[in-house]
A and B are shown apart, each in its own frame.
Chain A
Amino acid sequence: MTVLDVRSLEIRRGSRPIVSGITFSASRGEVVALMGASGAGKTTILRAIAGLDPIAAGSITVDDISLTPGISHRGHVMRTLHRRVGMVFQFHHLFAHMTAHRNVWLAPVHVLRVAREDAESRARALLDAVGVGDRAGALPHELSGGEAQRVAIARALAVEPPLLLMDEPTASLDPARRGELAATLRHLAAQHRTILVATHDAEFARACAHRVLLIEDGRIRTVS
C-alpha cells in the first residue's frame, strides 16, 4: 500500500528551481533513503513533504492528503497532514525550554487531546524504547547529540505518524551508533511505519533502506 506518492515535484527558491521532476513513492513498512551530496536538495524535498515549504509544481500525496502548488500552509489541510507525517530534523530542534519528557508528551496532549497522564506514561515508554528513558528529566542542552536525536525520534513517534521523515540522522552519531540507528529504523518499519531518510552516508543508506534514491542536480538519477 502506497503511503507517500511524489509526482513531478518542483520546488523553487525565488525563481530558481532547487529540484524538479522528482517522482517516487514509498509503501507501508518501507525504508527509503534519499541520497546525494549536500546541497542536492534532499532537505528541501523532506521539508516540502512535511508541509513546511511550498511547492512550485507537481504533487505530494500522503495517505489521503494531497499537496499541490498554492495550497495554504496554515490551514486545516496542513494540520491533517501533520498527523500523517512526523519529522526528525538534522539539528533535532527539541523545544529548548522543556525537559526531554515534556518534549515528547506535549503534542499528544495538545494536538491529539490524549489525557495528560496517559500521554506522560506513553512518553516514558517511548523514551525507554529509544534508549534514553534515564534522560527524561534532562533539558535539551544537557543531552548529547545522539541522545537529543533519540528524544526527537520519540517526539515524532508520539503522535503516531504513518510516515516518518529523517533529515541526516547520522550527522551527530559515531559509527557504532549508526549501526544501532539503522537497526532501530528497520525495527520501526517492521511495525508498518514508512520511513524516508535523507542522508549523504552511503553505508548507512545501504544498511537501513529497502531502496536508495540518488539525487543529482535536482533530479533523481538512480534507483537501487
Chain B
Amino acid sequence: MRGVLRVAAVVFLVSASCTAVDAQSQPELRWGGDAEGGAPYVEADPGDPTRVVGFDVDVAQLFASGLGRVPRFIQVGFTSLDAAAARGDFDVALSGIEDSPARRARLAVTIPYYEFREVLTVREADSNRFRSLADLRGHRVATLGATLAYDLLADAQARDGIIPITYEDDVHPYSDLVLGRVDAVVLDFILAQRGLRRNGGLFNQPEPLAVGHYVGVLAPAQTRLRDRMNVMLRDAMRDGRLEAIFRRWSAWNEDQPRLYARLLADASANPVAPSSLASASDTGTVDAARTLSGPRTWEAARLYLPALLNAALITVLLSCLSMALAVGVGVLIASGRIYGAAPLRIVLTTWVEIIRGTPLLLQLFVLYFGLAAFVQLPAFLAALLGLGLNYAAYESEIYRGALEAVPQGQLDAARTLGFTERQILVLVRAPQAFRLALAPMTNDFVALLKDSSLVSVITVVELTKQTSIFAANIGSWVLPGAMCAALYLALSLPLARVARRLERGWRQA
C-alpha cells in the first residue's frame, strides 16, 4: 500500500514540477531520478510535495549552478534510469546510482561523489547467529533487484547456498525481515540505517560486505558535459560544498574524505575502480557475468540462459496454476450469478466489479503487503491467489455469457425429458457453453501468461524479472529482451495452436 501511495505522490510531483519550471526562461539542466527512492537521495518534500529534496537534488543543484542553468527534475523509475539516460531523456541521472563496469561500458559516468558500504541487516535476536552470508545457508536474504547487493547475493547463492529474494523497493525488505518472511537484508548502509529507523528490533552487522560508489550517469556521447561535471565535483570536494551537502543529510562519514583524497590525487576520468565485490577486502570474487562489457555479451547470454529458463518455468507453473484457479472460481461465480438467489447474485456481481475495476498490481500489493499483519502468505501463494482470483472475475463473465448463449431450445428439450436443473447444467448447458468459451479463455490464458510478470512486485522472480536483472547487469536490454520475448513466444504460440485445434475439433463436434 505504501508503495502505491508513493507512486501516486510521484505522479503528482512530476506533473507539478513540469509546470512549475516551464515558466522560467533560463536554460535548464534536466536531471533524472526516482523520487520513490526516498530520502536521503530524492524524495517529495514532505512540506511541499511539488518539490523534491535530498542529497541527489543538492548535487543536481551544484551541477546546475556550475553550468549557469536551472535544475529541472525528471521522474524516471529507478530500473529505467540507464536506458532513459542513453536515450537522452535528460542530461544526467542522479539517484544513488551505483558505479559498475556495465554502466561504464555503455554510458558516460562521472567520478564518484559518495562511497557506501553494503551491510547485512538481521533481526536483533539473530545478531550472533547470522554474522555473514556464509551463516545464512538455506535462508532467504532480501535485497533490491539490479543492484550491487543483488550481485553479492547471486554470488552467495552459488557459494553459500543462500536464497536471494529481490524487492522493487527498499521498504518491504525490512518490514518483511521483521515479519520473518526473510532472515536478512543486504543493502547499502544508508538504506539499512533508514530500515532500522522505521522498524524496531533490527541489527546491522558492523563488517561491510562490499564497497561501492554513487555516480552521475549521462548519455554515452556526453563526455564533454561529463568532464565539466567531474571538474565541478572535484571543486566541490576541495572547497567543502559536497561535505556540507552530505552533512546536511546526515550521510557524512570518514569514508568520504578518503574517497575525495583519492579522486583529487588523480585527475583522470576514472580514477577509482568501479564498485565491485572485490573491493570489500575478502568477501568474494568478481565472476564473469558481472564484469561483462560489449564483446562478452554472448558469454553473458550463455551464463544467464539457465536462470532465464528457470524463471520461465516459474512463469509457466504460476500461469497454469492461476488459470486452473481462475477457471474453477470463475465457473462457481458464473453458476452463482445465473442460478443463485438474489442476495448471492448481488454479492457476486459486486465482487466481480470490484476485481475488474481495480488494478491487478494493487490487488497483489494488498494480498502480500496489506494483509501481512493478519496473514503472511508466502510470495508464490499470494501471486497465485492474486492472479487466479483476478482472472476468475474475467473468466466468470466469459462463462456467464457462454452459458446464456446456449439456446433456450436445448434447455427446453432437456426439461421435457425430465432432467433436473443440475443435470441440465452438467450434461447439456455447461458442455456447450465450454465450447463457446474456449476461444476467449485461450486469449485470457495468453494474457495471464504475460500479466504474471506483475508478480515481481511481491518478490517472485519470474521470466520478466529475471530478464530485467540480466539487462541491468549487462547494461543493455537488447539481448535479454530478445531472449525473454523468444521464451514468452515459445510458451504462448504452442498454446494458441493447441487451442485452435481443440476449437476446430469441437466446432465439428
**Which of chain A's residues have a CB closer than 8 A to the CB of B410?**
93, 95-96
A52 pairs with B412, CB closer than 8 A: yes
CB distance from B412 to the nearest CB of A (A): 5
Restricting to B380-430, which residues have a CB under 8 Å from any CB of A? 407, 409-410, 412-421, 423, 427-428
**Which of chain B's residues have a CB closer than 8 A to the CB of A94?**
413
- The reply on A110 being an interface residue by CB < 8 A is yes
Q: A89-B412, A97-B432, A97-B509 are in contact. Are A82 and B427 (CB under 8 A)?
A: no
A51 pairs with B409, CB closer than 8 A: no
B416 pairs with A52, CB closer than 8 A: yes
**Which of chain A's residues have a CB closer than 8 A to the CB of B416?**
50-52, 82, 85-87, 156
Where chain B touches its partner, the secondary structure class is helix
Chain B residues bordering chain A, tally (CB within 8 A):
22
Instruction: Name B406's closest neighbour in chain A (CB-CB).
Output: A96
Q: A97-B435, A106-B427, A139-B509 are in contact. Are A89 and B409 (CB under 8 A)?
A: yes
- The reply on B27 being an interface residue by CB < 8 A is no
**Which of chain A's residues have a CB closer than 8 A to the CB of B435?**
97
CB distance from B36 to the nearest CB of A (A): 53
Number of A-B contacts (CB under 8 A): 66
- The reply on B431 being an interface residue by CB < 8 A is yes
B432 pairs with A110, CB closer than 8 A: no
Tell me, in angstroms, the Cα distance from A159 to B419 when the chains sit together.
11
User: Could you say which interface size class chain A belongs to?
Assistant: 20 to 34
- The reply on A173 being an interface residue by CB < 8 A is no
- The reply on A176 being an interface residue by CB < 8 A is no
Give A64-104 as 1s and 0s: 1 = Cβ < 8 Å from B's Cβ atoms: 00000000001000110011011101010111110000000
**Which of chain B's residues have a CB closer than 8 A to the CB of A159?**
417-418
CB distance from A111 to the nearest CB of B (A): 4
Instruction: Name B407's closest neighbour in chain A (CB-CB).
Output: A93
Which 7 residue pairs of A and B lie closest in terms of their CB atoms, listed nearest first?
A: A82-B418, A93-B413, A93-B409, A107-B417, A111-B418, A87-B416, A50-B416
30 contacts between A and B (CB under 8 A): A51-B415, A52-B415, A74-B421, A78-B415, A82-B417, A82-B418, A83-B418, A86-B417, A87-B416, A89-B409, A89-B412, A91-B409, A93-B407, A93-B409, A93-B413, A95-B410, A95-B413, A96-B410, A96-B432, A97-B431, A97-B509, A106-B417, A106-B427, A107-B418, A107-B419, A110-B419, A110-B423, A139-B509, A155-B417, A159-B418
